[in-house]
Copies of this chain bind each other. A is one copy, B any other.
Amino acid sequence: MSVFLAQNSYGKSRVRLVKVERGEGRHDVFDLTVDVALEGDFETAHTEGDNSLLYATDTMKNSVYALARQGPVDPPEAFALRLARHFLERVPHAGRVHVSIAQHPWDRIQADGGAHPTAFRRAGEERRLARVSATREAVGVEAGVEEMTVLKTAQSGFEGFMRDDLTTLRETADRLFATAVRATWRFNRDDVDWNASWTASRQALLATFATHDSLSVQHTLFAMGQAVLEARAEVDEVSLSLPNKHHLLVDLAPFGLDNPNEVFISTTEPFGLIEATVVREADLY
């Protein structure tokens, strides 16, 4: 019997990097988790144990730290591009390089009446994402957010859905809508003002979530993707993943109490999971 390698990739995941940029009397902190992966002509490593074409994942890790020293890591999209091009150069038989960066946020601590120049507080689990997928011919750049956990207590309902004999969910014009947004968006250029673009796209997501009259998670998801596309001409495609973190109204009737949408049980599982990709007309495929 003949057995073949159909596809392969390998790399280093979760390279934890903190870079301190030490300005005059003021430091900036960049806290990144970097993943690198290569695809290409590595077949004999698999089939024959020939390591001569393997660029060690340990060397990939070293490269992340060395390149962090040799240039800026902010914005993360630019650092990812720099890393991807570096690996394409170093590994001639790599056909494609993937670099994914998650940036962990730190705010300045308020002290002595202002933002402290060298002390920081972790600003939550929301992470900024930057992803580059590069070949020798083309490069694709994506930005995004994950664990952007949001909740709205008004302008959210779910009515008029299909019912059958297995349906028990009640229709409601007023429910809590909570989700942990994961969104990534694809750029149609690679000469973008990455930080300005990211800030604007993220704000479009947040503001749309807040102000949308939501008839369903799907409905708001689409509006959020549309808002990014309308706000940013450099973005052609937005992919969103919205887990519906259900908040169940507690039945207080057994205790002689009403519950006018006030007291909820927050649950973690099961959860609805709504995912879609929203594109401009020209990109429809």
Q: Which chain A residues have a beta carbon within 8 Å of chain B's beta carbons?
A: 1-22, 27, 29, 31, 35, 37, 42, 45-59, 61-63, 65-66, 68-70, 90-91, 106, 109-112, 116-126, 148-155, 158-169, 176, 203, 206-207, 209-211, 215-219, 221-222, 225-226, 229-230, 237, 243-244, 247, 250, 252, 254-257, 259-281, 283-285
Beta-carbon contact of A257 and B118 below 8 Å: no
Nearest opposing residue in chain B for A86, CB measure: B166
Q: Which one, B52, B70, B225, B262, contacts A160 given CB within 8 A? A: B52
Q: Which 9 pairs between the two chains have the least Cβ-Cβ distance? A: A124-B124, A49-B215, A119-B210, A122-B149, A8-B276, A118-B154, A46-B222, A14-B269, A111-B207
Residues of B within 8 A of A237 (CB): 6
The smallest beta-carbon distance between A78 and chain B, in angstroms, is 17
A45 to chain B: closest residue by CB: B218
Residues of B contacting A252 in the complex (Cβ-Cβ under 8 angstroms):
65-66, 69
Contact in complex: A210, B10 (CB < 8 Å):
no
Cβ 8 A contact of A18, one of B37, B119, B264, B280: B264
Knowing A59-B164, A122-B149, A273-B12, the reply to whether A280 touches B3 (Cβ < 8 A) is yes
Identity of the chain B residue whose Cβ is nearest the Cβ of A151 in the assembled complex:
B120
Give every chain B residue within 8 A of A266 (Cβ-Cβ): 16-18, 31
B150 pairs with A122, CB closer than 8 A: yes
A255: which of B62, B169, B257 is its contact (CB, 8 Å)? Answer: B62
A-B contact pairs, 18 of them (CB 8 A): A5-B222, A8-B275, A12-B273, A13-B269, A16-B266, A17-B264, A20-B264, A37-B273, A46-B276, A51-B216, A54-B161, A69-B252, A69-B259, A109-B209, A118-B155, A119-B211, A121-B126, A122-B125
Q: How far is the CB of A256 from chain B (nearest CB, A)?
A: 8
A276 adjacent to B7 (CB under 8 Å): yes
Q: Report Cα–Cα, A136/B124, bound state, in Å.
A: 40
Q: Which residue of B lies closest to A181 (CB)?
A: B121
Interchain nearest-CB distance for A57 vs B (Å):
4
Nearest residue in B to A104 (C-beta to C-beta)?
A: B266
Known: A112-B207, A124-B122. A69 touches B161 (CB 8 A): no
Complex Cα distance, B120 from A141, in Å, reads 30
Enumerate chain B residues within 8 angstroms of A90, measured Cβ to Cβ: 164, 166
Contact (Cβ within 8 A) B17 A161: no
Contact of A56 among B22, B55, B70, B162 (CB under 8 A): B162
A167 to B58, CA, bound (A): 7
Closest CB of chain B to A276's CB: distance in Å? 4
B residues less than 8 Å from A176 (CB atoms)? 18, 20
